[in-house]
Structure 1
Amino acid sequence: MAEVTLHVEGMSCNHCKMSVEKALKNLAGVTGATVDLGAKTARVTYDAGKVDIEAMRKAVSDAGYEVK
């Protein structure tokens, strides 16, 4: 398993936090996603053989947020 911390812009409330977590957790290969609203980060645990960071960026973008 691999882990990455993404910096996510545009989150302002718990609904935003839940939306980003859900978008990431719905990706095949992601085993965990924890968003820290205050730090504007998402820590993702994933199987690098099944999903890559670009797919995570796209999922967050599709949910309406921006990964820096």
Structure 2
Amino acid sequence: MSEETIEVQGMTCKHCKASVEGALSGLDGVNKAEVNLDKNQVTVDFDDDKVTVQKMKDEIEDIGFEPK
């Protein structure tokens, strides 16, 4: 398992938090996704044999947020 913290712009509320966590948690290989709204970040525990950081960033972008 690996852990990655991704900066995400555009998250402002609990609904945003739930959207990002839900989208990432739905990816095969993601064990846990936890958003910190104060820091504009999501920390993801994942299996890097099943999912890439780029795939997670693409998923974040697909739901309307801007990963860095």
Amino acid at match of 1:17: K
Amino acid at match of 2:26: N
Amino acid at match of 1:50: K
What residue in structure 2 maps to residue 49 of structure 1? 49
What residue in structure 1 maps to residue 31 of structure 2? 31
Q: Secondary structure at the match of 1:27?
A: coil
Runs of 4+ in structure 1 deviating by more than 4 angstroms, as ranges, are none
Q: Secondary structure at the match of 1:39?
A: coil
What residue in structure 1 maps to residue 8 of structure 2? 8
**Residue 26 of structure 2 corresponds to residue 65 of structure 1:** no
Aligned residues: 68
Tell me how far 1:63 sits from its aligned partner. Answer: 0.9
TM-score normalized by the length of structure 1: 0.98
Task: Return 5+ residue gaps in structure 2 as ranges.
Answer: none
Task: Return 5+ residue gaps in structure 1 as ranges.
Answer: none
Amino acid at match of 1:2: S
Identity %: 44
